[in-house]
Structure 1
Amino acid sequence: MTAYFLPVALIVVSNIIYQIAAKSVPSTLNPFASMIITYAVGTVVSVMLYFLFNKGGNLLQEYQHLNWAPFVLGIIVVGLEVGFIYAYKAGWPVSTLSIVQSAFLAVALIVVGCLLYSEAITWNKIVGIVFCVIGLVCINQ
């Protein structure tokens, strides 16, 4: 049970801190300059955690298993980070930006799940989409 919920808790706590940090990036700092520091720190932390959790690990051996995904993630994650920073610079409140983007994302991922992974679109998912749309209408009033 812990292995099931612990990653979700990590995501939620990390996302809360992420949103606070993204909103706190100085408005005078270019978002891409901010990303250079962000990813330099992320690289150092990732290397440290890799060796902490993989005693005697070999990064070169790990990289033999690479495919396209980490490269695309590297590009896309910059879009995510910079998108949030620009949205906060444009005046989005921290209390609504994440909710709005999550609602759109949830609906889009239902379609992606169906088209790319043959996941069923159930009545529960349709009701969820309706609630997302209702939520978006309510939050933007």
Structure 2
Amino acid sequence: MSPFLPLATVIGCGVVYHVAQKASGAVSPWPVLTIAYGAAFAVALFMLGLGWWGRGDAVRWPAARDCVASLALGLAAFGIEAGFFFVYRSGWPLSSAQVITNLSVTAVLAVTGIMVFGEHLTGARAVGLALAAGGATLIARG
């Protein structure tokens, strides 16, 4: 598999995600999230039946530690979904809400990567974070 296919999938789905969130006229996020997670569940079951991306690999149930991580992932995804629902309903523009939230997450992950996983923050990455923060500031003010 090309290393660009997963990246293209994330980018394409991210665009659809934010446009759908912003375009939804629902008053409450709960029915919207029920339908969304029902669709995600159906797709996940389908993919599980195929094996990973249809390659036919053996599918094994995750270990206990991975199940805890899976639960955390599900709760975090739910929080992101509900959070963006309210962010967009409170008037944040599509063009800046996602940029500001993702930059904030990126900054926290940079620190987490260093402190928890022993990753290194190179000078180039530090400059990149600073430039991204400056860009997000300009977008938020515009």
Q: TM class, shorter-chain normalised?
A: 0.7 to 0.9
Alignment-derived partner of residue 140 in structure 1: 140
Distance 1:133 1:57, change over 3 A: closer
Question: SS at 2:77's partner residue?
Answer: helix
Contact 2:26 2:32 in 1 (8 A): no
The share of aligned pairs that are identical, in percent, is 24
**2:17 maps to 1:18:** yes
**Shift of residue 133, structure 1, vs aligned partner:** 2.0
Q: Deviations over 1:30-89 (max 9, x none)?
A: 11221111111111111112212265966xxx3253421111111111000011111110
2:48 match:
50
On the 8 A contact 1:50/1:57 being kept in 2, the answer is no
> Where does 1:1-141 land on structure 2 (aligned, <5 Å)?
3-28=2-27, 30-52=28-50, 53=54, 55=56, 62-63=60-61, 65-66=63-64, 67=66, 68-141=68-141
In structure 2, distance between residues paired with 1:64 and 1:10: 24
TM-score, normalization: structure 2?
0.86
Give 1:90 shift: 0.6
Give, as a single letter, the amino acid of the residue that structure 2 aligns with 1:96: S
1:100–1:136 contact (8 Å) kept in structure 2: yes
Matched residues, number: 136
Unaligned runs of 5+ in 1: none
- Paired residues of 2:96 and 2:136 also in contact (CA < 8 A): no
Report SS of the residue matched to 2:121: coil
State the superposition RMSD in angstroms. 1.9
Q: Are 1:107 and 1:132, in contact at CA under 8 Å, matched by a contact in 2?
A: no
The one-letter code of the counterpart of 2:25 is P
Task: Tell me the distance in 1 between the aligned counterparts of 2:15 and 2:138.
Answer: 22
Q: Name the amino acid aligned to 1:137.
A: T
